[in-house]
A and B are shown apart, each in its own frame.
Chain A
Amino acid sequence: MSAGFDIFEVKINYYSASSVFVLTMLWGFITAFLLTTKGYRYADFMFVTNRLTSHLANGLFLLTMSFLGSLTASLSPFLIRVIIFIYQDEGHITEDFLMSAQAHEFIIGFATAFLYLLVFSVLGYLFGMLIQFNKALQVIIPVVFLGGLMINSGEQGMIISIINFFMMESSFVLFTLKMIVSILVIYLSTILLTNKMEVIR
């Protein structure tokens, strides 16, 4: 951000690790989606016995992956802070949340990151599994999602309302409940929808 008054020029740089976290969520979604591709599914059935155990094994993998992803995303602000120090003048940062934040804030930040990552992972997993039913869905679902964002936009739009339902929640307890229920609903839906699917399809 920059503001100029002819004689005075103020340049303000805002740093945060938000983009790292957004990319981690994207990574979670893509990785979960790729779990449902042919290569992984074929490899999967060398070790497990049926569709349900495959889903459970993948579920455990998604949990582990979300844990590691949220751990790296939560630690990234410290690395970014060190990089800024190396590339900017000393004293350039005049406000620094890392120096003032409490331990419990980091713990809640980590837990929140974990839940977000897990919800994106199970969404990617559901999306990938749906595509196994019909390849046309890999075009229809993104079109419906993006179209919904464009046509039914604004604060009252359905997709925005769903996003706000999670992102605008200021109580951590309520947020956790919402997330856990959503994760269970999405994951159980995936299991129920694909339980009768052929092993190799």
Chain B
Amino acid sequence: MGMLIILVIIGLIVYFMKKGIDNKIIRSNSKGLKWLFLGYLSILVLSVPVAFLLPIETESLKGEIAKGDVVHEQDIYIEDALLKGEIEELVDKNKTELWAFDYENDVLNIEQKAEEFYVAVYLEETSEYTEMIEATYFYPRLIVDEWDFSNEVSPIRVELKNNSLNIYEPLSVTINHGEFEMGFPMSQFYGESKMMGRSSSSSMGGQILYLKVPEGLEIGDDTNVDIIKVE
């Protein structure tokens, strides 16, 4: 369909140009065309300094270009480290969100309050706390077309109500990103040529919540999440 439209446009251009030549319209309008061309050229020349003077805030993500595999590798690394109980090291190295709740009951329900959303919950019983629950959320990596948008990701929400720890899905986020790239033919010698199409990729890490609870705390029957116990 697109090709057909282009062919129709080309056909119309050729037809009108031929008609113009035959009718000597172009020749009689040559002065007008000259001014039209000069006007267009002036706008183009003027746009050069204007483009450089625009107050554009370019928040570059260039230094953070990453491959999609990084996401998978990082997930595996975090899972392994959490199972080994190396939570402190991970907190230092990764972007996290921390919640602490006072809790005195013997039973705790952990409930996920959203459908079509998965969060891996790691549970560690610790003697450090007797009347407190600590929840640590690890932000997932988000990589689209080798651009790292991890800093744009919003966290899950965690609330304690009575004897239930409720997990809510993150707030919906729309990220708008624009790139003014080097087009053809410049890209033939500098950078990757996109004339033959563009391949696209995206990957996002898993949602991980690590809970530290007092020793002996019982997990209630209303719990609806998969719990991975850390020994």
Interface of A with B (CB < 8 Å)? Answer: 1, 3, 5-18, 20-22, 26, 30-31, 33-34, 37, 39-40, 68, 71-72, 75-82, 84-85, 88-99, 101, 105-106, 108-109, 112-113, 116, 167, 169-170, 172, 175
Contact = CB atoms under 8 A, between A and B. Distances in A.
A27 to B, nearest CB: 8
Nearest to B175: A10
A10 B142 contact: yes
A199 to B, nearest CB: 18
Contact of B21 (A21, A22, A39): A39
B58 A16 contact: no
30 contacts: A6-B117, A7-B154, A8-B174, A9-B175, A10-B149, A12-B144, A12-B145, A12-B179, A13-B177, A14-B178, A14-B179, A15-B181, A21-B183, A21-B185, A30-B13, A37-B21, A39-B18, A71-B41, A82-B50, A82-B51, A84-B178, A85-B56, A91-B57, A94-B60, A101-B186, A105-B189, A109-B186, A112-B185, A170-B188, A172-B189
Nearest to A80: B180
Interface of B: 10, 13-14, 17-18, 21-22, 37, 40-41, 43-45, 47-48, 50-52, 54-62, 116-117, 142, 144-145, 147, 149, 152-154, 169-191, 193-195, 198, 200, 202, 204
Secondary structure at chain A's binding surface: helix, strand, loop or mixed? helix
B200 A1 contact: yes
A10 B180 contact: no
Given A75-B45, A77-B183, A93-B58, A1 B145 contact: yes
B54 A82 contact: yes
Nearest to B196: A167
Residue of B10, B142, B183, B195 with highest tally of chain A CB at under 10 A: B183
B27 to A, nearest CB: 8
Given A13-B177, A21-B184, A81-B51, A167 B195 contact: yes
Given A84-B180, A89-B176, 14 more contacts: A8-B174, A11-B176, A11-B177, A12-B177, A13-B179, A15-B181, A16-B182, A30-B13, A30-B17, A75-B48, A79-B43, A94-B61, A167-B193, A169-B188
Given A7-B169, A11-B174, A81 B180 contact: yes
A88 B76 CA distance: 39
Nearest to A99: B58
Given A108-B189, A167-B195, A16 B44 contact: no
Contact of A112 (B37, B176, B189): B189
A95 B142 contact: no
A77 to B, nearest CB: 7
Nearest to A9: B174
A171 B153 CA distance: 42
A1 B149 CA distance: 15
Report the 6 A-B pairs with minimum CB-CB distance, sorted nearest first: A16-B183, A109-B186, A18-B183, A3-B202, A75-B44, A39-B21
B21 to A, nearest CB: 4
A14 B186 contact: no
Given A12-B145, A30-B17, A94-B61, A99 B184 contact: no
A23 to B, nearest CB: 9
Given A13-B178, A15-B181, A79-B47, A95 B10 contact: no
B54 A97 contact: no
Given A34-B17, A108-B186, A94 B51 contact: no
A109 B179 CA distance: 19
Contacts of B176: 11, 13, 89, 92
A101 B182 CA distance: 9
Contacts of A37: 18, 21
